[in-house]
């Protein structure tokens, strides 16, 4: 029997490790600069949780907005190109961190800066190094302030950027085994429609499963200053909940919002964890950060993977996309491009092209050798949750 919304919320009182994501529109109030009064209030709330014994990590936006305000004092800005974003981030990052250091300092709390890129979490060794550092910091009662390293990150097509800090916050939540990811934004949570356009839109308080209908309600992109929007928050929630982390999306300017969420109040939208905590290697696989290519599988293979917990055999592979080597991580999708999961492949892309569709007993005949009967063994495979309809329960 599925857990009720009240029971799920009540478990938030036991949160030990918390990731708080502060969006640009919360930190700026929709203006072109940091709203230091709001920032001080949010830091005060987070500091009280840290002083109460919780381990807290902050994932922050705002560097670009801070840099824009400083630079436009002396010259107009007419473009929003990647090089300009990187200039603004490099100018604004120090101001952003100085503000956090100042406000947390009021509570005698130390902060530490952590700048990450997609490449940092795509590499298994760097992923583990980042995990060790962040966990060590919170164990020493230091508040890590995490941001994407916009100064060196490239566009999403270059596969080095997270695209927005919502996804970064989900990656961090999975990285450190957070109990709760609290995404604070400029809206009350997920609604049945865009509340800025539809006065009849109602807040969805509880989402037991993130399916296609839930994603459709999230709509499109965010504001001119932020790269996010409710759609990116739902995508981030899907990743975090798949790793066993609860997610709440709530209004960052609501009075005492952090404490009230942790007290179990029905604030914002609660996304329930879709499964129990994954072990570290499978959690890294689930992130998809290290994926080097894609295997398209037929319906029989999809059913064997999802319903019977089987390994992926060459007979079920229809297409091979990308170039990868044995031991690399690959995505597994259906012909309709539905994501099934991720796995570590026992064969290279060139080898799989030769053996796809064959029986396992034919591998050695075709290649002259074999590395086992499976393209991906079930122990090196992690599946995403199927998007079964849960809309009636979500509203």
CATH value at residue 176: 3.40.1160.10
Residue 214: predicted pLDDT: 87
Higher pLDDT, residue 58 or 70: 58
235 shares a domain with 368:
no
Q: Per-residue pLDDT for 355 more than 90?
A: yes
Least confident range of 138-152, 175-189, 342-356: 138-152
Residue 330: CATH number of its domain: 2.30.130.10
Residues facing residue 148 across a β-bridge: 116
Residue 59: predicted pLDDT: 96
CA distances from 206 to 9, 35, 250, 263, 284 (A): 9, 30, 12, 16, 27
319 shares a domain with 243:
no
In-domain check, residue 96: yes
Q: Per-residue pLDDT for 353 more than 90?
A: yes
358 shares a domain with 248:
no
For 53, the 3-state DSSP assignment is coil
In-domain check, residue 393: no
Higher pLDDT, residue 126 or 293: 293
pLDDT, tens only, 2-30: 678 899 899 999 999 999 999 888 998 77
Total number of domains constituting the chain: 2
Higher pLDDT, residue 113 or 159: 113
In-domain check, residue 241: yes
230 shares a domain with 147:
yes
Residue 269: predicted pLDDT: 96
Cα distance between residue 317 and residue 300, in whole Å = 10
Confidence class of residue 156 from pLDDT cuts 50, 70 and 90? Answer: very low
245 shares a domain with 137:
yes
Confidence class of residue 224 from pLDDT cuts 50, 70 and 90? Answer: very low
> How does the average pLDDT of the chain come out, rounded?
85
In-domain check, residue 246: yes
206 shares a domain with 80:
yes
Residue 157: predicted pLDDT: 39
Residues facing residue 112 across a β-bridge: 144
Q: Average pLDDT of 33-48? A: 93
By CB atoms closer than 10 A (0-12, 13-18, 19+), residue 384 is buried
Residue 323: predicted pLDDT: 93
101 shares a domain with 14:
yes
Residue 299: predicted pLDDT: 94
pLDDT, tens only, 92-117: 888 899 999 999 999 999 999 998 88
In-domain check, residue 395: no
276: tokens are: 């129990």
Q: Average pLDDT of 303-330? A: 92
Which of 247, 264, 282 finishes a domain? 282
Cα distance between residue 208 and residue 391, in whole Å = 9
Least confident range of 22-31, 129-138, 354-363: 22-31
In-domain check, residue 238: yes
252 shares a domain with 294:
no
Higher pLDDT, residue 215 or 144: 144
Which of 282, 316, 349 finishes a domain? 282
113 shares a domain with 97:
yes
- Among 80-89, 236-245, 283-292, top mean pLDDT goes to 236-245
Residue 34: predicted pLDDT: 87
Q: Average pLDDT of 199-214? A: 89
197 shares a domain with 83:
yes
In-domain check, residue 389: no
86 shares a domain with 62:
yes
Q: Domain range spanning residue 126? A: 5-282
In-domain check, residue 392: no
86 shares a domain with 142:
yes
| Residues 25, 225 contacting (CB under 8 angstroms) | yes
Which of 282, 308, 340 finishes a domain? 282
By CB atoms closer than 10 A (0-12, 13-18, 19+), residue 199 is exposed
Report which of 152, 264, 153 is spatially closest to residue 205, judged by C-alpha positions: 264
């Amino acid at each position: 029997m599925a857990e009720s919304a009240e029971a799920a919320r009540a478990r938030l009182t036991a949160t030990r490790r918390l990731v708080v994501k502060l969006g640009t529109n919360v930190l700026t109030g929709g203006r072109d600069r940091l709203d230091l009064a709001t920032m001080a209030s949010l830091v005060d709330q987070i500091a009280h949780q840290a002083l109460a014994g919780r381990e807290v990590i902050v994932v922050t936006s705002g560097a670009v907005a801070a840099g824009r305000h400083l630079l436009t004092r002396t010259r107009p800005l007419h473009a929003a190109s990647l090089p300009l974003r990187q200039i603004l981030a490099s100018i604004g990052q120090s101001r952003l961190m100085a503000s956090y250091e100042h406000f947390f300092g009021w509570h005698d709390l130390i902060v530490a800066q952590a700048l990450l890129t997609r490449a940092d979490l795509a590499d298994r060794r760097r992923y583990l190094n980042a995990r060790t550092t962040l966990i060590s910091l919170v164990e020493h009662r230091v508040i890590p302030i995490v941001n994407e390293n916009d100064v060196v990150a490239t566009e999403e097509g270059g596969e080095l950027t997270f695209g927005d800090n919502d996804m970064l916050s989900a990656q961090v939540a999975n990285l450190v085994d957070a109990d709760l990811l609290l995404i604070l934004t400029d809206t009350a949570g997920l609604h049945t429609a865009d509340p800025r356009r539809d006065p009849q839109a109602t807040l969805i308080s509880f989402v037991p499963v993130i399916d296609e209908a839930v994603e459709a309600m999230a709509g499109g992109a965010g504001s001119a200053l932020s790269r996010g929007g409710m759609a990116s928050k739902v995508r981030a929630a899907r990743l975090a909940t798949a790793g066993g982390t609860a997610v709440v999306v709530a209004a960052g300017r609501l009075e005492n919002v952090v404490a009230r969420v942790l007290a179990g109040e029905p604030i914002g939208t609660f996304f329930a964890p879709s499964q129990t905590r994954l072990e570290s290697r499978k959690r890294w696989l689930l992130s998809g950060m290290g994926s080097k290519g894609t295997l398209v599988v037929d319906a029989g293979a999809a059913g064997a993977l999802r319903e019977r917990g089987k390994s992926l055999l060459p007979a079920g592979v229809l297409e091979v996309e990308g170039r990868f080597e044995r031991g690399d991580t690959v995505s597994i999708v259906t012909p309709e491009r539905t994501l099934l999961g991720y796995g570590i492949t026992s064969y290279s892309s060139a080898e799989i092209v030769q053996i796809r569709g064959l029986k396992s007993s034919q591998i050695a005949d075709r290649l002259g050798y074999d590395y086992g009967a499976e393209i991906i063994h079930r122990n090196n495979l992690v599946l995403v949750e199927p998007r079964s309809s849960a809309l009636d329960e979500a509203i």
